[in-house]
């Protein structure tokens, strides 16, 4: 009786996992562009125009940029009531021109940015598997027990979660792109304002997408070989990739200037305290 129950449970779990993985195999090819250009899914929507939305934001941002540029020039170099009058006015003009160029050309630049990462991803896939075509799930020759079927289902669920994570990241990238004209206004400031953070976010999301897709492909290869534990571990790391890369970039960034100054201050105070104790 126990054998029959175990067989039924194994069959049900395996059937559910295969159903999810078959669906996932059908959407895997679109995951890259879901991350970089989610708007490809919006083309058939009625009463919705991405170009019209961006043009409205772009027009308003241009107006704000011109107003802030004139205001900054008058307050800093005529009234001397704000900013740094010793700073060369040419730097502000250059920042204004940079912001204008970015607002106008960002759509083209982002398209090239996405194409470069797509070519990079294909090169990595070809280097890993020998072909740019993704490796599909081949589970028909795998023998399952209850434990293996459970792992199989968990991996399938993680793949489904990764797909929805890509949709979320794609929408995030879409919102970021809409906000670029406003972020570019920060180039009027010497520190670049919010624009530097925007660039960092775009690059972090791009590498996150590449790493997750490669890990998913590796997880599928391991699963096809019956190495469910390794496959489960790989897919789990794929889910944690955004957090892992965020920690890495925060560590590599070295912290803010104020944080560095605070660290130096603590070291100096500790050193002075040690000298004072030595004198006593």
* 30 within domain boundaries: no
Residue 194 has pLDDT above 70, yes or no: yes
Q: Pick the residue with more confidence: 162 or 145?
A: 162
Residue 145 has pLDDT above 60, yes or no: yes
* 267 within domain boundaries: no
* 43 within domain boundaries: no
* 270 within domain boundaries: no
151 — pLDDT class (breaks 50, 70, 90): confident
Token reading at 138: 């081949």
Residues 216 and 159 sit within 8 Å (Cβ to Cβ): yes
pLDDT value of position 191: 75
Mean pLDDT of 66-76: 84
Q: Mean of the per-residue pLDDT values for the chain?
A: 79
In sequence order, the 6+-apart residues with CB closer than 8 A to the CB of 57 are 178, 179, 181, 182
Rounded percentage of the chain residues whose pLDDT exceeds 70: 81
pLDDT value of position 44: 76
pLDDT in tens, 85-139: 556 778 888 888 999 999 888 889 999 999 999 999 999 998 988 887 777 777 5
pLDDT value of position 164: 92
* 73 within domain boundaries: yes
250 — pLDDT class (breaks 50, 70, 90): low
In sequence order, the 6+-apart residues with CB closer than 8 A to the CB of 146 are 6, 9, 10, 13
39 — pLDDT class (breaks 50, 70, 90): confident
152 — pLDDT class (breaks 50, 70, 90): confident
Number of separate domains in the chain: 1
Ranking 24-38, 73-87, 208-222, 228-242 by mean pLDDT, the lowest is 73-87
Q: What is the DSSP string of 111-154?
A: HHHHHHHHHHHHHHHHHHHSSSSPPPP--TT----HHHHHHHHH
pLDDT value of position 75: 76
Residue 201 has pLDDT above 80, yes or no: yes
pLDDT value of position 21: 85
* 197 within domain boundaries: yes
Q: Alpha-carbon distance 32 to 210, whole Å?
A: 8
Task: Determine the structural domain holding residue 79 and report its residue range.
Answer: 2-23+49-256
pLDDT value of position 188: 83
pLDDT value of position 114: 92
* 32 within domain boundaries: no
Q: How many CA atoms lie less than 13 Å away from 240 in the CB half-sphere?
A: 9
Closest CA to 14 of 234, 260, 239, 223: 223
* 226 within domain boundaries: yes
Q: Pick the residue with more confidence: 267 or 171?
A: 171
Sign of the torsion angle spanned by Cα atoms 225, 227, 230, 236: positive
Residue 271 has pLDDT above 70, yes or no: no
| Global pTM value | 0.77
Mean pLDDT of 138-164: 79
pLDDT value of position 131: 82
Q: What is the DSSP string of 89-118?
A: HHHHHHHHHHHHHHHHHHHHHHHHHHHHHH
């Amino acid at each position: 009786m126990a054998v029959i129950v175990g067989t039924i449970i194994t069959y049900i779990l395996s059937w559910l996992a295969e159903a999810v993985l078959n669906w996932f195999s059908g959407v895997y090819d679109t995951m890259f562009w879901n991350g970089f250009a989610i708007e490809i899914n919006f083309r058939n929507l009625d009463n919705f125009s991405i170009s019209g939305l961006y043009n409205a934001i772009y027009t308003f941002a241009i107006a704000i940029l011109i107003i802030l540029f004139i205001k900054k020039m008058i307050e800093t170099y005529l009234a001397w009531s704000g900013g740094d009058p010793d700073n060369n006015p040419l730097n502000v003009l250059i920042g204004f021109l940079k912001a204008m160029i970015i607002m106008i050309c960002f759509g083209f630049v982002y398209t090239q940015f996405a194409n470069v990462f797509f070519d990079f991803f294909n090169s990595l896939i070809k280097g890993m598997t020998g072909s740019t075509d993704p490796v599909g799930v081949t589970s028909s020759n795998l023998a399952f027990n209850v434990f293996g079927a459970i792992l199989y289902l968990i991996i399938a669920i993680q793949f489904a979660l990764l797909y929805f994570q890509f949709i979320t990241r794609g929408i995030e990238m879409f919102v970021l792109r809409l906000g670029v004209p406003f972020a570019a206004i920060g180039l009027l400031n010497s520190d670049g304002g919010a624009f530097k953070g925007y660039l960092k976010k775009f690059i972090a999301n791009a590498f996150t997408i590449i790493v997750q897709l490669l890990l998913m492909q590796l997880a599928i290869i391991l699963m096809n070989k019956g190495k469910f534990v390794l496959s489960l571990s790989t897919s789990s790391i794929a889910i944690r990739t955004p957090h892992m890369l965020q920690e890495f970039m925060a560590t590599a960034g070295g912290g803010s200037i104020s944080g560095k100054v605070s660290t130096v201050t603590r070291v100096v105070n500790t050193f002075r305290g040690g000298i004072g104790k030595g004198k006593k």
